[in-house]
Chains A and B, each alone.
Chain A
């Protein structure tokens, strides 16, 4: 290649390298005037017509209170779209964003993609401890940076088929794991080499029967104070995995259960196995009440807190918590106006209650949980109690989102299938992998 051509190529490469160096600068300071006429964009993930109508009504109530702020609402947005839009920035990117995935809070806060809400909270005099339950405060911040607030809450509990219970002679929902195992076996009916009814689907692919949802009943600590993975050191995880794999064996073994699981319909459709009677008990969130009603379930549904280990019977009533989060995009040039919407949706009692009533979620503020306007039948009250139980917990935020949960779940899959038998060594290896992944994210 002639020297001149090489020089041109080298120059081009250097120029390209130079232009490849891009990156979002630090946060713009909020300098907009929230009392002036403005329009902000709000992205959310709800897509069902009833949910969209509820969020629209909520926004209309906000606009009535703040007539100078118009809100452009964009629905049916998933997390991947949110991430790309916030990366790109620009005039069409959102000012206010809500997400169903609490796992991403760590990434959102650590990378400053969501604005730090502390200055706004201080300015408005919002006392977090008097406003939100403790677990909800935990999953909406990361290492001291609060970049999101809770917008409604999900609590997980036990759903059971009252008619199947009656037929099996079981008079009340199980409270401890040994009672639960006995009930699951009693409710299981064989049919050929499969089942006509299964007491409970313990396999980790059984929709909401995940490692993290079960583990919450053992009060786990996922990370040490130094941020290292704590799976092997905390007996909660080993105990949960032992219980689960034992129940898998007692109900017919992993392969048989997996084959049966393949006959299940869609989790969020009418053919959910609990609706169809294929399973007599299930772990699920409070939304299942509304979904079961819509699916026209023929049997009587009972709900209760999910059972606890026998040696922790005094903590019965707790469960796994999760929920929707809401924050302000760091790229937004209208952060003060955006804060007014966030504050209204997350702290205004009437707004939180009416939204919770409309979409059958658990309210996310202490006042809303006590509000007389909250429409709660006996079943829904069970979830309200789980949400307020002092020992209810959630999965902590991490710099790389839910990657550590995926790694734990991966080990869970191998262990339940009998492909890994050394529990202690497996959990230690999982710890090492989680630590490597976090080191890569830092």
Chain B
């Protein structure tokens, strides 16, 4: 088989007037786009390029940066003892916490849409915790789940059930954080409720006429209709969990009892590095150890992970997106 090449047809030369018109059109488009372009350049591109640049530099924030090649990358991946535990914890939280938050938010949303009387009260009751400041909410949970004096363990003890160490036990600290995240589920619940109320009633009626039970109605009517919202909840949940910082930091600090006074060293990720997350390391390296280069490496790892997760979910979820045809 021989390949034949076809010469591309030459485009007719544009007249001067037409060229000017196109140029003007391009400039006009750019002018309309400029607010976004300026915003993206200042708040996304510049920080991103800076972060890449500083990841190859030794920079303490005080003296001029010096080129160190891959030294920061090697240090973070091979010599920095907090990196791998933090990465494992972050992935654990992304998988477990996001899954449970979506399931729980959807479950609560489904229940509340079914409530005939007092729906307003339940909506408010489930939404209010979401408005609690994260530090206050975490401290409240640290008090409730205190293994020695907390009311939760007191109740469990009085029922003869085992009393976990919660934030003081490396096996229970992440489940405790997940409980805290489920308590503040109000944002997802509201989004799911809105999408559930949007499902056309006639589809349910048609399904009922065909003899579909509640599970089949949920599987074949509800789920296909709310799939784009589920995808949105999962993607935003993954990105939020990647940036999980305040709650594990506060929980660890409160449970460890070490406030970091004179001559005291606060242990990140108490207990036993189980509450360490990548954003905590960015802060620890960049703002406490003056190692901007190392902090930039971790920030780029976070950015890369968020991109990979989002791209994967978008590809997998593209079939979810409802089309009108």
Q: Which residues of A contact B (CB under 8 A)?
A: 12-13, 16-17, 19-25, 80, 83-84, 86-87, 100-103, 107, 111-113, 154, 156, 205-208, 210, 212-213, 258-264, 267-268, 285, 320, 322-324, 330, 394-395, 400-403, 405-407, 409-410, 413-414, 419, 433, 436-437, 440-441
Chain B residues with CB under 8 Å of A407's CB are 81
Q: Which of B65, B262, B265 lies in contact with A409, CB distance below 8 A? A: B265
Asked whether A440 and B294 contact (CB < 8 A) given A213-B263, A320-B263, A322-B263, the answer is yes
Q: Which of B10-18, B44-52, B102-110, B217-225 lies at the interface?
A: B44-52
A258 to chain B, nearest CB (A): 7
Beta-carbon nearest neighbor of A255 in chain B: B165
A326 to chain B, nearest CB (A): 14
Instruction: Please tell me if the beta carbons of B61 and A87 are within 8 angstroms of each other in the complex.
Output: yes
Interface residue B32 (Cβ < 8 Å from any Cβ of A): no
Chain B residues with CB under 8 Å of A80's CB are 287-288
Chain A residues with CB under 8 Å of B262's CB are 100-102, 154, 285, 322-324
B157 to chain A, nearest CB (A): 11
> Considering the chains assembled together, what is the distance between the CA atoms of A101 and B146 in angstroms?
29
Chain B residues with CB under 8 Å of A103's CB are 263, 265
A9 to chain B, nearest CB (A): 9
Instruction: Please tell me if the beta carbons of B46 and A16 are within 8 angstroms of each other in the complex.
Output: yes
Instruction: Please tell me if the beta carbons of A111 and B62 are within 8 angstroms of each other in the complex.
Output: yes
Asked whether A23 and B148 contact (CB < 8 A) given A12-B41, A406-B265, the answer is no
Q: Please, what's the 1-or-0 string for B66-86, where 1 marks a CB less than 8 Å from any CB in chain A?
A: 000001100100011100000
Interface residue B59 (Cβ < 8 Å from any Cβ of A): yes
Q: A-B contact count, CB below 8 Å?
A: 142
Interface residue B261 (Cβ < 8 Å from any Cβ of A): yes
> Considering the chains assembled together, what is the distance between the CA atoms of A12 and B38 in angstroms?
12
Instruction: Please tell me if the beta carbons of A259 and B148 are within 8 angstroms of each other in the complex.
Output: yes
A78 to chain B, nearest CB (A): 9
> Considering the chains assembled together, what is the distance between the CA atoms of A259 and B261 in angstroms?
23
Chain A residues with CB under 8 Å of B280's CB are none
Asked whether A400 and B289 contact (CB < 8 A) given A16-B45, A212-B263, the answer is yes
B46 to chain A, nearest CB (A): 5
Instruction: Please tell me if the beta carbons of A23 and B291 are within 8 angstroms of each other in the complex.
Output: no
Chain B residues with CB under 8 Å of A107's CB are 60, 289-290
Instruction: Please tell me if the beta carbons of A83 and B290 are within 8 angstroms of each other in the complex.
Output: yes
Instruction: Please tell me if the beta carbons of A409 and B267 are within 8 angstroms of each other in the complex.
Output: yes
Instruction: Please tell me if the beta carbons of A262 and B146 are within 8 angstroms of each other in the complex.
Output: yes
Chain B residues with CB under 8 Å of A419's CB are 272
Q: Which of B53, B168, B290 lies in contact with A111, CB distance below 8 A? A: B290
Beta-carbon nearest neighbor of A211 in chain B: B265
B16 to chain A, nearest CB (A): 19
Chain A residues with CB under 8 Å of B71's CB are 440
Beta-carbon nearest neighbor of A13 in chain B: B49
> Considering the chains assembled together, what is the distance between the CA atoms of A107 and B257 in angstroms?
26
A328 to chain B, nearest CB (A): 14
Interface residue B192 (Cβ < 8 Å from any Cβ of A): no
> Considering the chains assembled together, what is the distance between the CA atoms of A304 and B256 in angstroms?
27
Chain B residues with CB under 8 Å of A102's CB are 262-263
B271 to chain A, nearest CB (A): 8
Chain A residues with CB under 8 Å of B146's CB are 262-263
> Considering the chains assembled together, what is the distance between the CA atoms of A210 and B59 in angstroms?
31
> Considering the chains assembled together, what is the distance between the CA atoms of A366 and B64 in angstroms?
40
> Considering the chains assembled together, what is the distance between the CA atoms of A440 and B59 in angstroms?
11
Apart from A102-B263, A107-B290: 7 A-B pairs, beta carbons within 8 A: A20-B46, A25-B64, A83-B61, A83-B290, A86-B62, A264-B257, A322-B263
The residue among A20, A267, A268 with the most chain B CB atoms within 10 A of its own CB is A20
> Considering the chains assembled together, what is the distance between the CA atoms of A182 and B138 in angstroms?
40
Chain B residues with CB under 8 Å of A409's CB are 265, 267
Q: Which of B50, B61, B72, B147 lies in contact with A16, CB distance below 8 A? A: B50
> Considering the chains assembled together, what is the distance between the CA atoms of A113 and B272 in angstroms?
33
Chain A residues with CB under 8 Å of B49's CB are 13, 16-17, 20
Instruction: Please tell me if the beta carbons of B62 and A262 are within 8 angstroms of each other in the complex.
Output: no
Instruction: Please tell me if the beta carbons of A413 and B263 are within 8 angstroms of each other in the complex.
Output: no
Beta-carbon nearest neighbor of A429 in chain B: B81
Interface residue B4 (Cβ < 8 Å from any Cβ of A): no
Instruction: Please tell me if the beta carbons of A84 and B287 are within 8 angstroms of each other in the complex.
Output: yes
Interface residue B31 (Cβ < 8 Å from any Cβ of A): no
> Considering the chains assembled together, what is the distance between the CA atoms of A100 and B260 in angstroms?
10
Asked whether A263 and B148 contact (CB < 8 A) given A86-B62, A154-B262, the answer is yes
Interface residue B136 (Cβ < 8 Å from any Cβ of A): no
> Considering the chains assembled together, what is the distance between the CA atoms of A107 and B270 in angstroms?
25
Q: Which residues of chain B (96-155) have a CB below 8 Å from chain A?
A: 146-149
Asked whether A21 and B65 contact (CB < 8 A) given A100-B261, A213-B263, A406-B265, the answer is yes
Chain A residues with CB under 8 Å of B46's CB are 16, 19-20
Instruction: Please tell me if the beta carbons of B75 and A436 are within 8 angstroms of each other in the complex.
Output: yes
> Considering the chains assembled together, what is the distance between the CA atoms of A179 and B130 in angstroms?
54
- Pairs A–B under 8 Å by Cβ, sample size 8: A23-B62, A24-B64, A107-B289, A205-B258, A208-B264, A322-B263, A401-B290, A419-B272
> Considering the chains assembled together, what is the distance between the CA atoms of A212 and B258 in angstroms?
14
Q: Please, what's the 1-or-0 string for B241-260, where 1 marks a CB less than 8 Å from any CB in chain A?
A: 00000000000000111110
B164 to chain A, nearest CB (A): 11
Instruction: Please tell me if the beta carbons of A23 and B64 are within 8 angstroms of each other in the complex.
Output: yes
Chain A residues with CB under 8 Å of B267's CB are 406, 409-410, 413
Beta-carbon nearest neighbor of B258 in chain A: A205
B60 to chain A, nearest CB (A): 5
Instruction: Please tell me if the beta carbons of A20 and B54 are within 8 angstroms of each other in the complex.
Output: yes
> Considering the chains assembled together, what is the distance between the CA atoms of A20 and B45 in angstroms?
11
Chain B residues with CB under 8 Å of A261's CB are 148, 257
B295 to chain A, nearest CB (A): 12
Instruction: Please tell me if the beta carbons of A258 and B65 are within 8 angstroms of each other in the complex.
Output: no
Chain A residues with CB under 8 Å of B29's CB are none
> Considering the chains assembled together, what is the distance between the CA atoms of A394 and B263 in angstroms?
9
A359 to chain B, nearest CB (A): 13
The residue among A25, A101, A268, A414 with the most chain B CB atoms within 10 A of its own CB is A101
Interface residue B2 (Cβ < 8 Å from any Cβ of A): no
Chain A residues with CB under 8 Å of B64's CB are 23-25
Instruction: Please tell me if the beta carbons of B53 and A20 are within 8 angstroms of each other in the complex.
Output: yes
A-B pairs with the 4 shortest C-beta distances? A262-B148, A23-B64, A263-B148, A322-B263
> Considering the chains assembled together, what is the distance between the CA atoms of A285 and B265 in angstroms?
16
Interface residue B63 (Cβ < 8 Å from any Cβ of A): yes
